[in-house]
Chain A
Amino acid sequence: MGRAAKFDAIVAGGGHNGLTAACYLARAGLRTLVVEKNDWLGGAAVSRELHEGWTYSNCSYVCSLLRPEVVRDLDLPRHGLQVIPYTGGTTFTRDGDYFAYHSDRHALEREIARLSPRDVEGYERFALAVMRQCRFIRPLLLRTPPDPVAPGPRDVAELVYLLRRFHDLGPRETGEAMRFWTASVGDYLDGFIEHPLIKAHLAGSGIIGTGLGVYSPGTAYVLLHHYMGEVDGAIGAWGFARGGMGAVSGALASAFRAAGGEIVTGAGVERILVENGRAVGVALDNGDEYRAPIVASGMDVKRTYLGHVEPQHLPTDFLAAVRRFKIRGSSGKINIALDAMPRFLAAPEGASFLSGDLHVSESLAELERAYDDWKAGRWSALPYLDMLIPSRIDPTMAPPGKHMMTLFVQYAPYDLARDGTRDPAHWDEAARRGFADAVFDRIEAVSPGFRDLILHAEVRTPVDLEREVGLTEGNIFQGELTFDQLLFNRPVPGYADYRSPVKGLYLVGSSAHPGGGVMAAPGANAAREILRDAGRRCRAERAFRAA
């Protein structure tokens, strides 16, 4: 029998959302403990030295979604967080052409005109339309979704708030918002832009992390999910966290400790203890037990309720809804230590856009085929790649003269098909090599000699993401971002307010509204609800009210 210590609140899972919630709870005066199964904190927001001298952001790799309200509230810059924006990006084609995206408007116009003069105006309309949707959705990120089915007084107030926002939009823009929310990113782009390469460049954000194709309805929203962030007030901009994405979790952990919080790492929660319908603590896999009347889980909804709560404590229809939750793995990641800066055939020497996001792609049809491969249980023969070389901007990522490349790959299946069956166990060494080869071949075509620069590569399939980070099936968002799993439907209908059928048990991770990404919004929102139940006002709440 291990020791049993008492706390006011226990956070199960030290991902960035768990840490965010923990910070708010500790700062509201609750004696709070974070339990993390890994020896390190951060979940999918980590920096790890897996090759000597190199730092890998080995899951998430770029920062934009992190809510500025949370950064301010928790004073994260003081705890070491620095986000360095990068500008621009490029999509290379196999035949040596490219489209370079510039955040400078005039440079971008020139580049679009170089490929397709008619698209200059179309792009402008596209950017405006997306910005309008961003403005509409951003205020919703730090609000608890109302329950439209069995609304309590607060839900009614929230519903009225939403109705008024639609009303303020007017009929035409309401229509446009509805169209945006239901369209595919491919169809949406087809409405503005003609050139296939420009469309291919822009469409990537609509499929990252999802089990949907560019022509699947709902992917325009996924694009928005990647546009609604900001760096230093520049909406839609992305940046590198200095020192890797672990800097986000590191700053949160530091803020948490400064508020008196305690952290246990290297021991996983085995069971969330429930007595008489109330959460009373956690039992760890090392035998230790901790008691608290509040348990907040940063793990995804399936892992939490199907893996760590005994089923007799949960209503069967709730369990059925959790089982039904779609959390499909669709992405892989390769982290690479490079001997030198790779040369891209099409890029002029020292082109500034090489410090941004790099892709190899041709058209929407090609991206759609990559999705078809995934549906059939194969990794994409011609995958969508999102490559960045943060060491160009952040020297802490690699030794001088060397470089670090983070390489996100869409699509890779969780249950790989082989001989007519689908099974995660099919991801053996040979499969992993085959997957990496498909990716490297793609890069080699636009950057000959790339392979020779590789000193070390960490290949991460959805199965690895599941095993290490605990993301069920390796889904990077802790659950698909489709309408049936967004807003009041996230994670499951009736429980969008971060609560659960068990009193005192809350969900604080990305499975909850507003979903995945290094955003800290689910954690902050959940903390607000927890403190409300606990009868405490947190600073966050005042901050939110002021916002």
Chain B
Amino acid sequence: MAFDSARNLSAVVIGAGLNGLTAAATLAGRGARVTVVEKGEGPGGLMTGAGTGELGQFVWNLHPDALSEFGVSPADLGLGPALPTVALSPDGRHVVIEGGAARFADGAAHPDAAAYRALRWRVARFAAVLAPLVRMAPPRLGVGLMNRAGLPELLGLARLGLDIRRLARDDRREFLRVILSNAADLVLDAMPDGPLAASLAFDAVLGSRTGPRAPGTVLTLIYRHLQGGERYRPEGGMAVLAGRLARAAEARGAAIRYGAEAAGLVVEGDRVRGLRLASGEVIGAGLVLSSLGALPTLRLAGATHFDAEACRRIRQVRAEGTAGRLDLCLSAMPRLEGLPATLHRARLLLAPSVAALEAAFDPVKYGAVPGAPAAEILIEPEGAGARLSAIVQHLPRAPDGGWTTEAREGVIGSVVAALAVHAPGLPDLVREARLTTPAEIEAATGAPGGHWHHAEFAADQLLTLRPVNGMARYATGLPGLWLCGAAAHPGGDVTGLPGRNAALAALGAGVRA
């Protein structure tokens, strides 16, 4: 078996985010000697602000293939049951989405429930088509399809073709129509605008620098449904989940070093020989997998090792984060009117309409803070009080005039005010408020631009083009150096896929080399 030779390989993985951990587990599980170097004090990367607490909130896209590399099953991870989503409505008629079905919070039937269900199913069927694609390096198009080296590619494509053919004919037509289309049209062709419609559009823009009217957002929506689209809240939060996975990677034999910042690559004879830490220490390794973005990785290696065209492309990768996080310390659980107590701990969505979502994005384009940003909210009891956290979608990375106290308080104020419409007592419960901006996320984790996906999740930066044309199959062009983070195919979210795919690609090439 080809992977046997992994036994004499030594590898370094840069970053102990989920993808670095997955890459490490994948390599170590096949016998390689693996060291993970992480500049932060704990695992988790963007899940945890590099070990400083919690940034992400939910899990929906964690891939079973990645989990099996850790040797854990979903049951080991304490993910609990799927959370319902409550799409808050300005008129107080909140919409509950549970098990793919929508109803009003008071139990009444929702007029668009059937349309919603049909669309969810359709998106799920499309996700099934794309499912094989995310588990492999993106197919190389236009290359030697007709010769032997191209055979695996051809098979991959044929497989995709078969999966498409498995869809009913109408579905196939619809798939090819909407795949590059925009979420606003897809959703609003099916139902009138409102919180329910916005719940889908929200998934289509979450973490991206885009509004729902932008072509390509349907692809993001489908991506979000690769594992069914249900949200899970790891028990104890993201930090606990990251800790569990880090320990699982260690159990597979990977060594993780925290507080170890990669400062440069050791390159000899046009091949990577190891990694230099900020401390000056050098770790020798024939394989280096970087879970950092494309540009930070290029900088570690030194631009001289890449041709001018590759450098130019990497410098042009778009990565401007637009998601931030708000944490409120509350003296008691707030009461949301029109919502039964059992649903207070659901995933709450603050996105009244697709149009409002689009309007919230507009100011961000010009470096301004939106007056009514959309947000995904979680309220959990904490001690005698409660903690409210929110992923605030559509913040500028660097607003004109900077992230002043005023700008921050503006964001905090608008989220609190929007919630106070339903929870009049909320403002009085707030003991402490903290906003983490994209700029701070970048500072804490090194994620380019503080971006959710390390590189904008848009069709011109996906698949064969992710992160750039010519570097999509995890290999960077510098022998021994591989990309294994969210900037690589298939992209971000808590999936583990880029890490797993990259490790397998690196092992495959290691054998051939």
Binding site for B on A (CB under 8 A): 148-150, 163, 166-167, 169-176, 178-179, 182-184, 187, 190-191, 212, 215-218, 317, 324, 326, 365, 368-369, 372, 375-376, 482-484, 488-489, 493-494
Contact = CB atoms under 8 A, between A and B. Distances in A.
B160 to A, nearest CB: 12
Contacts of B214: 216-217
A179 B182 CA distance: 17
B180 interface: yes
Interface in B455-513: 458-460, 463-465, 469-470, 472
A176 B365 contact: no
Given A173-B142, A175-B465, A317-B170, 16 more contacts: A167-B142, A171-B140, A172-B470, A175-B469, A175-B472, A178-B460, A182-B458, A215-B365, A217-B460, A368-B365, A368-B366, A376-B359, A484-B185, A489-B177, A493-B174, A493-B176
29 contacts: A148-B176, A149-B169, A149-B172, A149-B176, A150-B169, A163-B145, A166-B141, A167-B142, A167-B145, A174-B464, A178-B141, A179-B465, A182-B216, A187-B318, A215-B365, A217-B214, A218-B180, A317-B170, A326-B185, A365-B365, A365-B366, A368-B365, A369-B366, A375-B358, A375-B362, A483-B180, A484-B185, A488-B176, A493-B177
Contact of B464 (A149, A178, A212, A484): A178
Interface string B157-196: 0000000000001101110111011100100010000000
B146 interface: yes
Interface string B66-97: 00000000000000000000000000000000
A167 B215 contact: no
Contact of B143 (A171, A183, A326, A494): A171
Contacts of B5: none
Given A149-B176, A170-B142, A365-B365, A176 B469 contact: yes
B469 A324 contact: no
The binding surface of chain A is classed by DSSP as helix
A317 B141 CA distance: 34
Contact of B141 (A149, A174, A216): A174
Contacts of B318: 187
A375 B173 contact: no
Given A190-B316, A218-B215, A175 B464 contact: yes
Contacts of B146: 167
A156 to B, nearest CB: 13
Nearest to B178: A484
Interface of B: 140-143, 145-146, 169-170, 172-174, 176-178, 180-182, 185, 189, 213-216, 316, 318, 358-359, 362, 365-366, 458-460, 463-465, 469-470, 472
Contact of B460 (A148, A182, A375, A494): A182
A388 B60 CA distance: 54
A215 B189 CA distance: 23
A166 B180 CA distance: 19
Contacts of A488: 176
A324 B365 contact: no
Nearest to B462: A182
B14 to A, nearest CB: 26
A484 B183 CA distance: 12
Contacts of A173: 142
Contact of B180 (A163, A187, A484): A484
Contacts of A148: 176
A355 B359 CA distance: 40
A150 B177 CA distance: 14
Contacts of B182: 482
A169 B316 CA distance: 23
A482 B318 CA distance: 22
Nearest to A482: B215
Most-contacted residue by chain B among A150, A215, A484 (CB, 10 A): A484
A-B residue pairs, 7 tightest by C-beta:
A174-B142, A175-B469, A182-B459, A493-B173, A484-B181, A171-B143, A183-B460
Contacts of B458: 182, 217
Nearest to A494: B173
Nearest to A169: B142
A317 B143 CA distance: 38
B437 to A, nearest CB: 21
Nearest to B175: A149
Nearest to B167: A149
Contacts of A217: 180, 214-216, 458-460
B177 A484 contact: yes
A187 B460 contact: yes
A359 to B, nearest CB: 21
Contacts of A169: 142
A166 B142 contact: yes
Contacts of A484: 177-178, 180-181, 185, 215
A381 to B, nearest CB: 14
A155 to B, nearest CB: 13
A494 B174 CA distance: 10
A228 to B, nearest CB: 20
A324 B185 CA distance: 9
A146 B62 CA distance: 38
A200 to B, nearest CB: 15
A179 B469 contact: yes
Contacts of A187: 318, 460
Contacts of A172: 469-470
A14 to B, nearest CB: 31
Contacts of A365: 365-366
Contact of A175 (B316, B365, B459, B470): B470
Contacts of B145: 163, 167
Contacts of B365: 215, 365, 368
A400 B367 CA distance: 50
A171 B142 contact: yes
Contacts of A489: 176-177
Contacts of A190: 316
Contacts of A178: 141, 460, 463-465
A324 B213 contact: no
A173 B470 CA distance: 10
Nearest to B186: A484
B439 to A, nearest CB: 20
Nearest to B185: A326
Contacts of A179: 460, 465, 469
A423 B464 CA distance: 43
A53 B459 CA distance: 51
Contacts of B174: 493
A128 B20 CA distance: 39
B464 A483 contact: no
B275 to A, nearest CB: 30
A472 to B, nearest CB: 16
A423 to B, nearest CB: 16
Most-contacted residue by chain B among A170, A176, A326, A493 (CB, 10 A): A493
Contacts of A166: 141-142
Contacts of B185: 326, 484
A15 B302 CA distance: 59
Most-contacted residue by chain A among B142, B214, B464, B472 (CB, 10 A): B142
Given A182-B460, A493-B173, A170 B180 contact: no
A184 B214 CA distance: 10
Contacts of A174: 141-143, 464
A182 B141 CA distance: 16
Contacts of B170: 317
A324 B189 contact: yes
B173 A216 contact: no
B288 to A, nearest CB: 25
A174 B359 CA distance: 35
Contacts of A482: 180-182, 215
Contacts of A493: 173-174, 176-177
A216 B215 CA distance: 7
B482 to A, nearest CB: 19
Contacts of A215: 365
A329 B433 CA distance: 45
Nearest to B362: A372
